[in-house]
Chain A
Protein backbone atom coordinates (compact mmCIF):
# COMPACT_ATOMS: atom_id res chain seq x y z
CA UNK A 1 0.00 0.00 0.00
CA UNK A 2 1.09 3.52 -0.72
CA UNK A 3 2.33 5.46 2.28
CA UNK A 4 0.83 8.65 0.85
CA UNK A 5 -2.61 9.39 2.24
CA UNK A 6 -5.00 9.76 -0.68
CA UNK A 7 -7.82 12.28 -0.88
CA UNK A 8 -11.27 10.83 -0.23
CA UNK A 9 -12.56 9.26 -3.44
CA UNK A 10 -15.57 10.68 -5.23
CA UNK A 11 -18.59 8.54 -4.46
CA UNK A 12 -21.58 8.11 -6.75
CA UNK A 13 -24.61 5.86 -6.80
CA UNK A 14 -24.98 4.07 -10.12
CA UNK A 15 -25.91 0.78 -11.74
CA UNK A 16 -23.53 -1.65 -13.41
CA UNK A 17 -24.14 -0.30 -16.91
CA UNK A 18 -23.18 3.21 -15.84
CA UNK A 19 -20.22 1.80 -13.89
CA UNK A 20 -18.95 0.11 -17.05
CA UNK A 21 -19.27 3.41 -18.94
CA UNK A 22 -17.26 5.12 -16.19
CA UNK A 23 -14.60 2.46 -16.57
CA UNK A 24 -14.45 3.08 -20.32
CA UNK A 25 -14.18 6.81 -19.71
CA UNK A 26 -11.39 6.43 -17.14
CA UNK A 27 -9.48 4.11 -19.50
CA UNK A 28 -9.44 6.91 -22.12
CA UNK A 29 -10.79 4.68 -24.86
CA UNK A 30 -10.35 6.13 -28.38
CA UNK A 31 -13.10 4.36 -30.23
CA UNK A 32 -16.47 2.94 -29.21
CA UNK A 33 -18.90 1.04 -31.42
CA UNK A 34 -22.02 -0.31 -29.76
CA UNK A 35 -25.43 -1.51 -30.81
CA UNK A 36 -28.12 -1.40 -28.14
CA UNK A 37 -29.69 -4.60 -26.84
CA UNK A 38 -31.47 -5.37 -23.57
CA UNK A 39 -30.13 -5.42 -20.85
CA UNK A 40 -27.09 -3.58 -22.19
CA UNK A 41 -28.93 -0.62 -23.79
CA UNK A 42 -28.50 1.95 -21.03
CA UNK A 43 -24.74 1.29 -21.13
CA UNK A 44 -24.80 2.58 -24.74
CA UNK A 45 -26.76 5.64 -23.62
CA UNK A 46 -24.30 6.42 -20.82
CA UNK A 47 -21.37 6.13 -23.23
CA UNK A 48 -23.08 8.35 -25.82
CA UNK A 49 -23.78 10.90 -23.10
CA UNK A 50 -20.22 10.83 -21.78
CA UNK A 51 -18.92 11.44 -25.31
CA UNK A 52 -21.50 14.17 -26.03
CA UNK A 53 -20.66 15.89 -22.73
CA UNK A 54 -16.96 15.84 -23.57
CA UNK A 55 -16.14 13.63 -20.59
CA UNK A 56 -14.83 10.92 -22.90
CA UNK A 57 -12.85 11.98 -25.98
CA UNK A 58 -13.70 9.00 -28.17
CA UNK A 59 -15.17 8.38 -31.57
CA UNK A 60 -18.61 6.79 -31.29
CA UNK A 61 -19.21 4.80 -34.47
CA UNK A 62 -22.84 4.29 -35.46
CA UNK A 63 -23.13 0.94 -37.17
CA UNK A 64 -26.02 -1.16 -38.37
CA UNK A 65 -25.50 -4.19 -36.16
CA UNK A 66 -23.14 -6.16 -33.94
CA UNK A 67 -21.31 -7.85 -36.81
CA UNK A 68 -20.22 -4.40 -37.97
CA UNK A 69 -19.55 -3.28 -34.39
CA UNK A 70 -16.73 -5.72 -33.91
CA UNK A 71 -15.47 -5.52 -37.51
CA UNK A 72 -15.13 -1.74 -37.19
CA UNK A 73 -13.27 -2.12 -33.89
CA UNK A 74 -10.87 -4.64 -35.45
CA UNK A 75 -9.94 -1.98 -37.99
CA UNK A 76 -9.65 0.56 -35.20
CA UNK A 77 -7.23 -1.58 -33.19
CA UNK A 78 -5.16 -2.34 -36.29
CA UNK A 79 -4.89 1.43 -36.82
CA UNK A 80 -3.79 1.93 -33.20
CA UNK A 81 -6.94 2.71 -31.22
CA UNK A 82 -7.97 1.56 -27.75
CA UNK A 83 -11.46 0.19 -28.33
CA UNK A 84 -14.57 -0.85 -26.42
CA UNK A 85 -17.94 -2.41 -27.06
CA UNK A 86 -20.68 -4.17 -25.13
CA UNK A 87 -23.37 -6.63 -26.10
CA UNK A 88 -25.26 -9.73 -24.98
CA UNK A 89 -27.54 -12.57 -26.06
CA UNK A 90 -28.77 -12.25 -29.66
CA UNK A 91 -26.35 -9.36 -30.28
CA UNK A 92 -23.44 -11.56 -29.32
CA UNK A 93 -24.79 -14.26 -31.63
CA UNK A 94 -24.92 -11.79 -34.54
CA UNK A 95 -21.35 -10.76 -33.70
CA UNK A 96 -20.05 -14.32 -33.80
CA UNK A 97 -18.01 -14.24 -37.04
CA UNK A 98 -15.71 -11.32 -36.09
CA UNK A 99 -15.89 -12.53 -32.46
CA UNK A 100 -14.26 -15.80 -33.55
CA UNK A 101 -11.55 -13.94 -35.39
CA UNK A 102 -10.55 -11.43 -32.71
CA UNK A 103 -8.45 -13.65 -30.39
CA UNK A 104 -6.62 -15.29 -33.29
CA UNK A 105 -5.57 -11.86 -34.53
CA UNK A 106 -4.47 -11.12 -30.96
CA UNK A 107 -6.41 -7.85 -30.83
CA UNK A 108 -6.74 -6.42 -27.30
CA UNK A 109 -10.39 -5.35 -27.55
CA UNK A 110 -12.41 -5.04 -24.34
CA UNK A 111 -16.08 -5.98 -24.51
CA UNK A 112 -18.65 -6.13 -21.77
CA UNK A 113 -21.16 -8.95 -21.94
CA UNK A 114 -24.18 -7.81 -19.93
CA UNK A 115 -25.20 -11.41 -19.57
CA UNK A 116 -28.60 -12.54 -20.80
CA UNK A 117 -30.17 -15.94 -21.10
CA UNK A 118 -30.30 -17.21 -24.67
CA UNK A 119 -33.39 -17.75 -26.78
CA UNK A 120 -35.47 -19.88 -26.82
CA UNK A 121 -37.74 -19.68 -24.68
CA UNK A 122 -38.05 -15.95 -25.39
CA UNK A 123 -36.38 -14.02 -22.62
CA UNK A 124 -34.85 -10.60 -22.15
CA UNK A 125 -33.54 -11.34 -18.66
CA UNK A 126 -30.23 -12.19 -17.08
CA UNK A 127 -28.44 -15.53 -17.13
CA UNK A 128 -24.94 -16.54 -18.19
CA UNK A 129 -25.94 -18.66 -21.17
CA UNK A 130 -24.76 -16.14 -23.80
CA UNK A 131 -21.26 -15.69 -22.36
CA UNK A 132 -20.96 -19.38 -21.49
CA UNK A 133 -21.92 -20.37 -25.04
CA UNK A 134 -18.79 -18.61 -26.35
CA UNK A 135 -16.43 -19.78 -23.63
CA UNK A 136 -14.19 -21.75 -26.01
CA UNK A 137 -13.66 -19.03 -28.60
CA UNK A 138 -10.46 -17.74 -27.01
CA UNK A 139 -11.53 -14.53 -25.30
CA UNK A 140 -10.58 -13.99 -21.68
CA UNK A 141 -13.74 -13.97 -19.56
CA UNK A 142 -14.05 -12.37 -16.13
CA UNK A 143 -17.35 -12.40 -14.21
CA UNK A 144 -18.04 -9.54 -11.80
CA UNK A 145 -19.74 -9.79 -8.43
CA UNK A 146 -20.53 -6.13 -7.67
CA UNK A 147 -21.16 -2.83 -9.44
CA UNK A 148 -17.84 -1.51 -8.13
CA UNK A 149 -16.08 -4.54 -9.53
CA UNK A 150 -17.62 -3.85 -12.95
CA UNK A 151 -16.04 -0.39 -13.08
CA UNK A 152 -12.67 -1.54 -11.78
CA UNK A 153 -12.54 -4.63 -13.99
CA UNK A 154 -13.32 -2.72 -17.20
CA UNK A 155 -10.27 -0.54 -16.56
CA UNK A 156 -8.08 -3.48 -15.51
CA UNK A 157 -9.16 -5.39 -18.63
CA UNK A 158 -7.14 -3.01 -20.81
CA UNK A 159 -3.94 -3.69 -18.88
CA UNK A 160 -4.57 -7.42 -19.17
CA UNK A 161 -5.55 -7.38 -22.86
CA UNK A 162 -2.65 -5.15 -23.90
CA UNK A 163 0.01 -6.97 -21.89
CA UNK A 164 2.61 -8.15 -24.39
CA UNK A 165 2.57 -11.69 -22.95
CA UNK A 166 -1.21 -11.85 -23.42
CA UNK A 167 -2.47 -9.79 -26.40
CA UNK A 168 -5.99 -11.20 -26.26
CA UNK A 169 -9.47 -9.69 -26.15
CA UNK A 170 -11.28 -9.59 -22.80
CA UNK A 171 -14.96 -10.04 -21.94
CA UNK A 172 -15.93 -8.33 -18.73
CA UNK A 173 -19.19 -10.09 -17.85
CA UNK A 174 -21.74 -8.54 -15.54
CA UNK A 175 -25.10 -10.07 -14.76
CA UNK A 176 -28.05 -8.72 -16.70
CA UNK A 177 -30.69 -7.22 -14.39
CA UNK A 178 -28.88 -7.82 -11.08
CA UNK A 179 -25.77 -5.81 -11.97
CA UNK A 180 -26.90 -3.98 -15.12
CA UNK A 181 -29.80 -2.24 -13.33
CA UNK A 182 -28.92 -2.73 -9.67
CA UNK A 183 -27.69 0.59 -8.25
CA UNK A 184 -25.02 0.64 -5.57
CA UNK A 185 -22.48 2.92 -3.93
CA UNK A 186 -19.47 3.22 -6.21
CA UNK A 187 -16.15 4.94 -5.63
CA UNK A 188 -14.76 6.66 -8.72
CA UNK A 189 -11.01 6.21 -8.98
CA UNK A 190 -8.96 9.35 -9.50
CA UNK A 191 -8.14 9.87 -13.20
CA UNK A 192 -4.47 10.49 -12.41
CA UNK A 193 -4.27 7.17 -10.54
CA UNK A 194 -5.89 5.35 -13.46
CA UNK A 195 -3.52 7.04 -15.93
CA UNK A 196 -0.52 5.96 -13.86
CA UNK A 197 -1.95 2.45 -13.59
CA UNK A 198 -2.71 2.02 -17.30
CA UNK A 199 0.31 3.66 -18.89
CA UNK A 200 0.44 4.16 -22.64
CA UNK A 201 -1.75 2.04 -24.86
CA UNK A 202 0.03 -0.66 -26.80
CA UNK A 203 -2.34 -2.30 -29.23
CA UNK A 204 -0.92 -2.75 -32.74
CA UNK A 205 2.82 -3.31 -32.43
CA UNK A 206 2.45 -6.87 -33.75
CA UNK A 207 -0.02 -6.35 -36.59
CA UNK A 208 -1.22 -3.09 -38.09
CA UNK A 209 -2.93 -1.26 -40.89
CA UNK A 210 -0.16 1.28 -41.30
CA UNK A 211 1.20 2.69 -44.60
CA UNK A 212 4.60 3.13 -42.96
CA UNK A 213 4.99 -0.58 -42.24
CA UNK A 214 3.11 -2.44 -44.97
CA UNK A 215 1.98 -6.00 -44.26
CA UNK A 216 -0.76 -8.37 -45.26
CA UNK A 217 -3.02 -8.96 -42.25
CA UNK A 218 -4.15 -12.51 -41.54
CA UNK A 219 -3.42 -14.23 -44.88
CA UNK A 220 -4.47 -17.83 -45.53
CA UNK A 221 -2.51 -20.07 -43.15
CA UNK A 222 -2.72 -23.85 -42.90
CA UNK A 223 -3.63 -26.56 -45.37
CA UNK A 224 -2.13 -30.01 -45.68
CA UNK A 225 1.22 -29.31 -47.36
CA UNK A 226 4.33 -27.14 -47.19
CA UNK A 227 4.81 -25.03 -44.06
CA UNK A 228 1.02 -24.63 -43.59
CA UNK A 229 0.34 -27.26 -40.90
CA UNK A 230 3.21 -26.27 -38.61
CA UNK A 231 2.45 -22.56 -39.04
CA UNK A 232 -1.16 -23.12 -38.06
CA UNK A 233 -0.14 -25.13 -35.00
CA UNK A 234 2.32 -22.40 -34.04
CA UNK A 235 -0.39 -19.72 -34.06
CA UNK A 236 -2.84 -21.93 -32.17
CA UNK A 237 -0.21 -22.72 -29.54
CA UNK A 238 0.58 -19.01 -29.34
CA UNK A 239 -3.05 -18.33 -28.49
CA UNK A 240 -2.99 -21.03 -25.82
CA UNK A 241 0.18 -19.70 -24.22
CA UNK A 242 -1.27 -16.16 -24.27
CA UNK A 243 -4.24 -17.55 -22.32
CA UNK A 244 -2.00 -19.30 -19.81
CA UNK A 245 0.12 -16.15 -19.33
CA UNK A 246 -3.12 -14.30 -18.66
CA UNK A 247 -3.61 -16.17 -15.36
CA UNK A 248 -0.38 -14.63 -14.04
CA UNK A 249 -1.01 -11.22 -15.64
CA UNK A 250 -4.58 -10.99 -14.26
CA UNK A 251 -3.15 -11.58 -10.79
CA UNK A 252 -0.40 -8.97 -11.26
CA UNK A 253 -2.80 -6.40 -12.67
CA UNK A 254 -5.24 -6.78 -9.75
CA UNK A 255 -2.33 -6.29 -7.33
CA UNK A 256 -1.22 -3.24 -9.24
CA UNK A 257 -4.77 -1.87 -9.14
CA UNK A 258 -4.69 -2.14 -5.34
CA UNK A 259 -1.34 -0.35 -5.30
CA UNK A 260 -2.55 2.56 -7.46
CA UNK A 261 -6.22 2.84 -6.51
CA UNK A 262 -6.31 1.17 -3.11
CA UNK A 263 -9.04 -1.36 -3.81
CA UNK A 264 -8.74 -5.13 -3.93
CA UNK A 265 -10.74 -7.68 -5.89
CA UNK A 266 -9.87 -11.37 -5.97
CA UNK A 267 -8.30 -11.73 -9.42
CA UNK A 268 -8.87 -15.35 -10.39
CA UNK A 269 -10.77 -17.05 -7.57
CA UNK A 270 -11.87 -15.84 -4.15
CA UNK A 271 -11.90 -18.12 -1.14
CA UNK A 272 -14.45 -17.12 1.50
CA UNK A 273 -14.60 -18.92 4.82
CA UNK A 274 -12.57 -21.82 3.47
CA UNK A 275 -10.39 -22.16 6.61
CA UNK A 276 -11.33 -25.48 8.16
CA UNK A 277 -14.18 -26.03 5.69
CA UNK A 278 -15.21 -29.69 5.30
CA UNK A 279 -17.12 -28.93 2.12
CA UNK A 280 -17.38 -26.08 -0.36
CA UNK A 281 -19.92 -24.22 -2.42
CA UNK A 282 -18.77 -22.60 -5.66
CA UNK A 283 -20.30 -19.58 -7.37
CA UNK A 284 -19.76 -17.23 -10.28
CA UNK A 285 -21.03 -13.67 -10.76
CA UNK A 286 -23.46 -11.60 -8.73
CA UNK A 287 -25.10 -14.57 -6.99
CA UNK A 288 -22.01 -14.66 -4.76
CA UNK A 289 -23.37 -11.96 -2.42
CA UNK A 290 -26.33 -14.11 -1.38
CA UNK A 291 -24.03 -17.13 -1.16
CA UNK A 292 -21.71 -15.33 1.27
CA UNK A 293 -24.66 -14.41 3.50
CA UNK A 294 -25.81 -18.04 3.53
CA UNK A 295 -22.29 -19.28 4.31
CA UNK A 296 -22.04 -16.78 7.20
CA UNK A 297 -25.34 -18.00 8.64
CA UNK A 298 -24.41 -21.65 8.19
CA UNK A 299 -21.03 -21.10 9.83
CA UNK A 300 -22.75 -19.45 12.80
CA UNK A 301 -24.92 -22.55 13.05
CA UNK A 302 -21.77 -24.70 13.12
CA UNK A 303 -21.89 -26.01 9.55
CA UNK A 304 -18.32 -26.38 8.21
CA UNK A 305 -18.92 -24.82 4.78
CA UNK A 306 -16.74 -22.46 2.77
CA UNK A 307 -17.16 -20.68 -0.54
CA UNK A 308 -15.03 -20.45 -3.67
CA UNK A 309 -16.01 -17.82 -6.22
CA UNK A 310 -14.62 -17.94 -9.74
CA UNK A 311 -13.98 -14.53 -11.28
CA UNK A 312 -11.69 -15.56 -14.14
CA UNK A 313 -13.49 -18.33 -16.00
CA UNK A 314 -11.40 -18.19 -19.20
CA UNK A 315 -8.60 -19.11 -18.94
CA UNK A 316 -9.90 -21.60 -16.38
CA UNK A 317 -7.76 -21.48 -13.23
CA UNK A 318 -7.34 -25.26 -12.92
CA UNK A 319 -4.49 -25.17 -10.40
CA UNK A 320 -6.07 -22.46 -8.22
CA UNK A 321 -9.40 -24.28 -8.07
CA UNK A 322 -7.69 -27.60 -7.32
CA UNK A 323 -5.65 -25.98 -4.54
CA UNK A 324 -8.74 -24.32 -3.04
CA UNK A 325 -10.58 -27.66 -2.97
CA UNK A 326 -7.58 -29.71 -1.82
CA UNK A 327 -8.95 -30.30 1.68
CA UNK A 328 -12.69 -30.52 1.19
CA UNK A 329 -14.69 -33.72 0.95
CA UNK A 330 -17.67 -32.46 -1.06
CA UNK A 331 -18.36 -29.67 -3.55
CA UNK A 332 -21.57 -28.05 -4.75
CA UNK A 333 -21.23 -25.81 -7.82
CA UNK A 334 -23.89 -23.24 -8.66
CA UNK A 335 -24.22 -22.19 -12.31
CA UNK A 336 -26.46 -19.59 -13.91
CA UNK A 337 -26.43 -21.45 -17.23
CA UNK A 338 -26.58 -24.91 -18.70
CA UNK A 339 -24.01 -27.22 -20.24
CA UNK A 340 -26.28 -29.09 -22.66
CA UNK A 341 -23.67 -31.71 -23.51
CA UNK A 342 -23.12 -32.81 -19.90
CA UNK A 343 -26.56 -32.13 -18.42
CA UNK A 344 -25.07 -29.91 -15.71
CA UNK A 345 -23.67 -26.40 -15.31
CA UNK A 346 -20.57 -25.36 -17.30
CA UNK A 347 -18.64 -24.23 -14.22
CA UNK A 348 -19.43 -27.58 -12.60
CA UNK A 349 -18.16 -29.35 -15.71
CA UNK A 350 -14.84 -27.46 -15.47
CA UNK A 351 -14.56 -28.02 -11.72
CA UNK A 352 -14.74 -31.77 -12.34
CA UNK A 353 -11.55 -31.41 -14.39
CA UNK A 354 -9.85 -29.49 -11.58
CA UNK A 355 -10.95 -32.12 -9.03
CA UNK A 356 -9.38 -34.80 -11.22
CA UNK A 357 -6.03 -33.06 -10.63
CA UNK A 358 -6.39 -33.88 -6.92
CA UNK A 359 -6.18 -37.59 -7.68
CA UNK A 360 -9.03 -38.48 -5.33
CA UNK A 361 -12.72 -38.67 -5.91
CA UNK A 362 -14.56 -35.72 -4.36
CA UNK A 363 -18.35 -36.12 -4.40
CA UNK A 364 -20.07 -33.21 -6.10
CA UNK A 365 -23.42 -31.82 -7.14
CA UNK A 366 -24.29 -29.40 -9.95
CA UNK A 367 -26.85 -26.71 -9.11
CA UNK A 368 -28.45 -24.63 -11.86
CA UNK A 369 -30.32 -21.50 -10.84
CA UNK A 370 -31.13 -17.95 -11.77
CA UNK A 371 -31.98 -18.68 -15.38
CA UNK A 372 -33.75 -15.92 -17.35
CA UNK A 373 -33.69 -13.42 -14.51
CA UNK A 374 -34.82 -15.73 -11.69
CA UNK A 375 -33.46 -14.78 -8.29
CA UNK A 376 -31.03 -17.00 -6.40
CA UNK A 377 -31.80 -16.15 -2.81
CA UNK A 378 -30.09 -16.84 0.51
CA UNK A 379 -32.72 -19.56 1.03
CA UNK A 380 -31.69 -21.21 -2.23
CA UNK A 381 -28.10 -21.22 -1.02
CA UNK A 382 -29.12 -22.82 2.27
CA UNK A 383 -30.59 -25.60 0.17
CA UNK A 384 -27.33 -25.77 -1.82
CA UNK A 385 -25.39 -26.01 1.44
CA UNK A 386 -27.70 -28.72 2.87
CA UNK A 387 -27.63 -30.80 -0.32
CA UNK A 388 -23.86 -30.52 -0.66
CA UNK A 389 -23.43 -31.45 3.01
CA UNK A 390 -25.53 -34.57 2.41
CA UNK A 391 -22.75 -35.79 0.07
CA UNK A 392 -20.58 -36.18 3.20
CA UNK A 393 -23.14 -38.68 4.51
CA UNK A 394 -23.07 -40.74 1.33
CA UNK A 395 -25.73 -39.06 -0.85
CA UNK A 396 -25.13 -39.90 -4.53
CA UNK A 397 -22.61 -37.73 -6.36
CA UNK A 398 -23.03 -36.26 -9.86
CA UNK A 399 -26.64 -35.13 -9.61
CA UNK A 400 -27.97 -31.93 -11.20
CA UNK A 401 -30.37 -29.87 -9.10
CA UNK A 402 -32.50 -27.11 -10.69
CA UNK A 403 -32.90 -24.49 -7.96
CA UNK A 404 -35.91 -22.58 -9.30
CA UNK A 405 -37.78 -25.68 -10.42
CA UNK A 406 -40.41 -25.44 -7.68
CA UNK A 407 -40.43 -21.62 -7.21
Chain B
Protein backbone atom coordinates (compact mmCIF):
# COMPACT_ATOMS: atom_id res chain seq x y z
CA UNK B 1 0.00 0.00 0.00
CA UNK B 2 1.37 3.38 -0.94
CA UNK B 3 1.64 5.70 2.05
CA UNK B 4 0.48 9.24 1.60
CA UNK B 5 1.98 11.98 3.67
CA UNK B 6 -0.45 14.55 5.08
CA UNK B 7 0.69 18.16 5.36
CA UNK B 8 2.05 19.04 8.77
CA UNK B 9 -0.18 20.81 11.27
CA UNK B 10 -0.06 24.60 10.94
CA UNK B 11 1.52 25.65 14.24
CA UNK B 12 0.58 29.28 13.58
CA UNK B 13 -3.05 28.42 14.42
CA UNK B 14 -2.32 27.91 18.13
CA UNK B 15 -0.50 30.08 20.71
CA UNK B 16 3.24 29.40 20.69
CA UNK B 17 3.57 29.16 24.47
CA UNK B 18 1.49 26.01 25.05
CA UNK B 19 2.78 22.48 24.45
CA UNK B 20 5.97 22.35 22.33
CA UNK B 21 5.17 20.77 18.97
CA UNK B 22 7.32 20.05 15.93
CA UNK B 23 5.82 20.76 12.53
CA UNK B 24 8.86 20.35 10.32
CA UNK B 25 10.51 17.02 9.60
CA UNK B 26 14.18 16.96 10.53
CA UNK B 27 16.43 16.23 7.51
CA UNK B 28 18.69 14.18 9.78
CA UNK B 29 18.59 10.41 9.34
CA UNK B 30 19.92 7.89 11.87
CA UNK B 31 22.81 7.08 9.51
CA UNK B 32 24.05 10.67 9.84
CA UNK B 33 25.46 10.20 13.34
CA UNK B 34 26.62 6.58 13.17
CA UNK B 35 30.08 5.79 14.64
CA UNK B 36 30.15 2.05 13.81
CA UNK B 37 28.76 0.34 10.73
CA UNK B 38 27.73 -3.30 10.22
CA UNK B 39 29.28 -5.27 7.39
CA UNK B 40 27.65 -8.50 6.18
CA UNK B 41 29.81 -11.48 5.18
CA UNK B 42 27.74 -12.82 2.28
CA UNK B 43 29.37 -16.27 2.46
CA UNK B 44 28.28 -16.73 6.06
CA UNK B 45 24.74 -15.31 5.73
CA UNK B 46 22.07 -18.05 5.48
CA UNK B 47 19.10 -15.61 5.36
CA UNK B 48 17.76 -16.78 8.72
CA UNK B 49 16.38 -13.21 9.20
CA UNK B 50 17.36 -12.93 12.86
CA UNK B 51 18.95 -9.54 12.07
CA UNK B 52 15.75 -8.46 10.35
CA UNK B 53 13.74 -9.40 13.45
CA UNK B 54 16.01 -7.60 15.90
CA UNK B 55 16.88 -4.41 14.01
CA UNK B 56 15.24 -1.55 15.99
CA UNK B 57 15.10 0.82 12.99
CA UNK B 58 14.12 -1.82 10.40
CA UNK B 59 17.05 -1.09 8.11
CA UNK B 60 17.69 -4.72 7.04
CA UNK B 61 16.99 -5.21 3.33
CA UNK B 62 16.60 -8.53 1.54
CA UNK B 63 18.97 -9.43 -1.34
CA UNK B 64 18.75 -12.57 -3.52
CA UNK B 65 21.21 -14.59 -1.44
CA UNK B 66 21.80 -12.55 1.72
CA UNK B 67 20.44 -9.79 3.93
CA UNK B 68 22.05 -6.39 3.67
CA UNK B 69 21.88 -3.12 5.63
CA UNK B 70 20.44 0.19 4.46
CA UNK B 71 23.11 2.60 5.70
CA UNK B 72 20.87 5.67 5.41
CA UNK B 73 18.77 4.50 8.35
CA UNK B 74 21.18 2.20 10.20
CA UNK B 75 22.24 3.96 13.42
CA UNK B 76 25.08 1.53 14.08
CA UNK B 77 23.74 0.06 17.30
CA UNK B 78 25.30 -3.35 16.59
CA UNK B 79 22.34 -5.43 17.77
CA UNK B 80 22.34 -7.35 14.45
CA UNK B 81 26.01 -8.26 14.87
CA UNK B 82 25.38 -9.34 18.46
CA UNK B 83 22.36 -11.49 17.56
CA UNK B 84 23.50 -13.05 14.26
CA UNK B 85 23.78 -16.82 15.02
CA UNK B 86 26.26 -17.31 12.19
CA UNK B 87 28.60 -14.46 13.10
CA UNK B 88 28.03 -13.08 9.59
CA UNK B 89 27.93 -9.42 10.70
CA UNK B 90 30.87 -7.44 12.05
CA UNK B 91 30.92 -3.84 13.24
CA UNK B 92 33.67 -1.61 11.88
CA UNK B 93 34.48 1.97 12.75
CA UNK B 94 33.17 4.71 10.43
CA UNK B 95 36.14 6.60 9.05
CA UNK B 96 36.19 10.19 10.32
In the bound assembly, the distance between CA atoms of A217 and B20 in angstroms comes to 7
The size of the chain A interface, using a CB distance under 8 A, is 25
Residues of B within 8 A of A211 (CB): 6
**Pick the contact of A105 from B7, B9, B15, B19 — CB < 8 Å?**
B19
B24's nearest neighbour on chain A, judged by CB, is A216
Taking a contact as CB atoms under 8 Å apart, the answer to whether B18 and A219 are in contact is no
Where chain A touches its partner, the secondary structure class is: loop
In the bound assembly, the distance between CA atoms of A219 and B19 in angstroms comes to 10
A106 touches B (CB below 8 Å): yes
Taking a contact as CB atoms under 8 Å apart, the answer to whether B17 and A215 are in contact is no
Taking a contact as CB atoms under 8 Å apart, the answer to whether A206 and B15 are in contact is yes
Interface of chain A residues 189 through 233 with chain B (CB within 8 A):
205-208, 211-219, 221, 231
Residues of A within 8 A of B6 (CB): 211-214
A258 touches B (CB below 8 Å): no
A205's nearest neighbour on chain B, judged by CB, is B14
Taking a contact as CB atoms under 8 Å apart, the answer to whether B20 and A213 are in contact is no
13 A-B residue pairings within 8 Å (CB atoms):
A105-B19, A167-B18, A206-B15, A206-B18, A206-B19, A207-B18, A213-B9, A214-B6, A218-B19, A218-B20, A219-B22, A238-B15, A238-B18
A235 touches B (CB below 8 Å): yes
- Chain A proximity of B26: nearest CB distance (Å): 9
B7's nearest neighbour on chain A, judged by CB, is A214
The 7 A-B pairs at the shortest CB distance, nearest first, are namely A238-B17, A216-B22, A207-B19, A213-B9, A219-B22, A215-B9, A105-B19
**Pick the contact of B17 from A205, A213, A241 — CB < 8 Å?**
A241
- Residue among B11, B17, B20 with max Cβ neighbours from chain A (10 Å): B20
**Pick the contact of A215 from B15, B16, B18, B23 — CB < 8 Å?**
B23
A208's nearest neighbour on chain B, judged by CB, is B9
A104 touches B (CB below 8 Å): yes
Taking a contact as CB atoms under 8 Å apart, the answer to whether B8 and A106 are in contact is no
Residues of A within 8 A of B17 (CB): 234-235, 237-238, 241
Taking a contact as CB atoms under 8 Å apart, the answer to whether A217 and B19 are in contact is yes
B21 touches A (CB below 8 Å): yes
- Chain A proximity of B73: nearest CB distance (Å): 18
In the bound assembly, the distance between CA atoms of A235 and B19 in angstroms comes to 7
Asked if A231 meets B20 with Cβ closer than 8 Å, knowing A212-B6, A215-B9, the reply is: yes
